[in-house]
Amino acid sequence: GDSVTQMEGPVTLSEEAFLTINCTYTATGYPSLFWYVQYPGEGLQLLLKATKADDKGSNKGFEATYRKETTSFHLEKGSVQVSDSAVYFCALRGTNAGKSTFGDGTTLTVKP
């Protein structure tokens, strides 16, 4: 079945540092890929998405590129802020439209 593997956390960075959170996936066909962010006490919010190979999703300074050859969708941000502290989830929606599979999340803490 489909699966998503994320870089284990927690990740602690200083403000303005570069962020990478690795995500790889296993799926049949051509899934859509997503990054969600979850702030304390809140539900998941869509951060960005990509629906086909080589697509780049971007939002709020975060970027991720759909790499089919390496089955990856790594999240990056050039300069993190304290307000980016949250849990980040990588997810895919497979060819069974509507069924999503999530990674276990990576906790990011940004210190001033």
Partner 1 sequence: EAGVVQSPRYKIIEKKQPVAFWCNPISGHNTLYWYLQNLGQGPELLIRYENEEAVDDSQLPKDRFSAERLKGVDSTLKIQPAELGDSAVYLCASSFSADTQYFGPGTRLTVL
**Chain positions contacting partner 1, by CB under 8 A:** 4, 34, 36, 41-46, 49, 89, 91, 93, 96-100, 102-105
Sign of the alpha-carbon dihedral angle for 51, 34, 47, 111: negative
Instruction: Select 19 or 103, whichever has its Cβ closest to partner 1.
Output: 103
Instruction: Select 36 or 73, whichever has its Cβ closest to partner 1.
Output: 36
Instruction: Select 10 or 112, whichever has its Cβ closest to partner 1.
Output: 10
Q: How far is the CB of 13 from partner 1 (least distance, A)?
A: 20
Q: How far is the CB of 110 from partner 1 (least distance, A)?
A: 20
Q: How far is the CB of 97 from partner 1 (least distance, A)?
A: 4
Across 29-66, b (16+ Cβ under 10 Å) vs e yields eebbbbbbbbeeeeebeebbbbeeeeeebeeeebbbbb
Q: How far is the CB of 61 from partner 1 (least distance, A)?
A: 20
How many CA within 13 A on the CB side of residue 68?
11
Amino acid at 28: T
